[in-house]
Amino acid sequence: MKALTLSLVSLALAGCASTTPGPATFARDWQVVRGQWEPLADGTLHGSCIPVSEQHKKNSCGGNEMAVLRSRTPLPANYRVEADIVVHQGVLAELMLSWHDVRFTRFVMYGIDKRAYAGVGYLRLPDIDRGEPSLVQSGFELYTGRRYRVAVNVCRKQMTAWVDGQPLLRHSDPMLAGGVLGLRANGSVNFSKVRVKALDSIDCPRDFSASDFMRDAQGMPPPDPLPFCFSC
C-alpha cells in the first residue's frame, strides 16, 4: 500500500507539473497497443485508427484497426476515473477499466445505436476484441465534435457511470478492481483531463450500495478527483 501511494504521488507530480506532456512522460505513463496515439500541446491524448489519407472523410474503423492505449500505472482497488471525451470521427469512445492481462471491464459510448454500454471485454492481439459489451445499456446520443465529461466510480466491484453529471449506468463485475486503465477509439477521439482518484472509506463505504451514488440525478455534481492525472 505504501508503494502504491508513492506511485500515485509520483505520477501526480509528473503528470501535473506541466500542461504539456513531453515524449518521455507519454512513453513512461502509457503504452500504445494499437492505432496512432499522440499527446497534443494542451495535454490531450489523441487516438486515431484512420489513415492520414482518409482523415478528411467521415470515417470510422473496426476490428484490428481500433486505437488502444494502455496505462502503465496500477489502479487502486476502489477508484474514480474522469475524462473529457470528444469523438471527431467514428462512432466509439471507451474507458477500459481494471485491465488485467486481456480482460477488462468496459464503459462504451457508442454512436451507431445511440447507446452507452457496460460489460466485459477481452483484447486478444492480434485478434479483434471479443467481449460482451451489452450486459448493461442505456440510451445515449453521441454527437461528433461535442465534448462530454465522463466520470466512473469503481467501489466494491461495482461501477457507476455519469456523463455530464447525470447518472447513466450501473454495473457489477466480480473482477472489477485493480488492474490498469485503458483508452480506446473508433475513428478519431480526444481524451483530455484524464484523472484518477483513489476512493477512501468515506467515498466508498464498506456497506456500499450502488444506489447511494444516484443522488447526482438531483443536481449534486460528482466530487472533483484528486490530481493523480495522466493528461492534466
| pLDDT for the residue numbered 13 | 28
Contacts of 200 (CB under 8 A, 6+ apart): none
SS3 133: strand
DSSP secondary structure letter of residue 145: T
| pLDDT for the residue numbered 3 | 45
| pLDDT for the residue numbered 210 | 53
What pTM was estimated for this model as a whole? Answer: 0.81
Dist CA 92 CA 31 (whole Å): 20
Residue with cell 469512445: 93
Please tell me the total count of domains within the chain. 1
Provide the H-helix boundaries in the chain.
2-16, 23-29
| pLDDT for the residue numbered 198 | 92
Dist CA 72 CA 177 (whole Å): 16
| pLDDT for the residue numbered 225 | 44
Domain span holding position 206? 2-229
| pLDDT tens digit at each of 232 positions of the chain | 444 443 433 333 233 322 345 666 788 899 999 999 999 988 899 999 998 778 777 788 887 789 999 999 999 999 999 999 999 999 999 999 999 989 999 999 998 888 898 989 988 877 777 766 557 888 888 999 999 999 999 998 889 999 998 888 888 888 888 899 999 999 999 999 999 999 988 888 877 665 544 433 333 344 444 444 454 4
Dist CA 30 CA 63 (whole Å): 22
Contacts of 224 (CB under 8 A, 6+ apart): none
Q: What is the CATH number of the domain that holds 11?
A: 2.60.120.560
| pLDDT for the residue numbered 134 | 58
